[in-house]
Structure 1
């Protein structure tokens, strides 16, 4: 697509390849925390596409879509690496909760109750529930999960940037991870299963879930945060 002067029509090309940006964003968002917005990834991806249009050289012998895919993914990954989804203090609180859950599961051989988790942490039930509200927005993946021991971003490179379609071992590991997550969700307390199902499968917001369960939005938030802590404690040993 070219203008009357024979130059590439950038606007037309952006429109033509915008579905590629959306497709890559949706592929990536599936392996990221729910609080990462798809629109943010698409916006950054469009910047990557614009960069690809300005840098592409047909003489390099590479198809434009291949070249653009690399630039779009690179822009999205750079944005993710430069962002943080939780404060350092709240991540520590969440790890403390996970640690208490894990210790109690090993000790009791069952899913611990809220009061037992609070006691294990040496705080009151009200203090524990307040902590759950403070770590609101916690997801299965933290920023530090995306960096190896030497500080690189190997999680992003392994699980987001790479296309595992041609790697049987990677596909097998991804399948096992998904199955482990499904099994862990099945072992959640019934009410927490309901919260996870309504939030992630039915795309209901906290207010809607609260109305269904007959509790406050704050309570739904607590149940969600606690569910994530239980799941992370399970998956940590996977």
Structure 2
């Protein structure tokens, strides 16, 4: 975690702990599923037929969730050679310009993410070429209905809420997990990214942060190595 980020409120610490727990859980589940699959394949000549698909979904969730988390703790890579040559006032202006570009991109990405996910969840995509101007009027034949994953079975413990949210009226009960469930992370992660970018903008405007980049991993690593060697 970046040394520059420290939650100051109880709610902030709870949210921060929750985010780190989610990231650790996703990574742990990836390792567990892969390990079990390897043991089953080479030790018992069998395997989890859904293991690879679940691992890919968990990895996608980890990456997408981690993007927003990276903005929060200022751990994304960037080049600040130009910023280091200007005054603090100019640095703030340039940082806000870069941030505005990131927010505009994230807003476009948010529309695309929702419009991609919505049909799988039997929801209406938005209208408008660049930014949403409303929702499309959906006809019965426009809905995709149940689009299953290839091999992931429906967890019985999740059957009730999943079928309540995603099962169209008149459809048979799900046998496999609908793709709408893993795809839900796409709009959720982009929304978190947009939210974190707005938070960064507030911190820059209020003077609590200088730019999008706070930590310098290479410089920190060199400094730590020098300290360990007693230089």
TM-score (norm 2): 0.31
TM-score (norm 1): 0.30
Higher strand share: 2
| Greater RCO, 1 or 2 (C-alpha within 8 Å, sep 6+) | 2
Higher helix share: 1
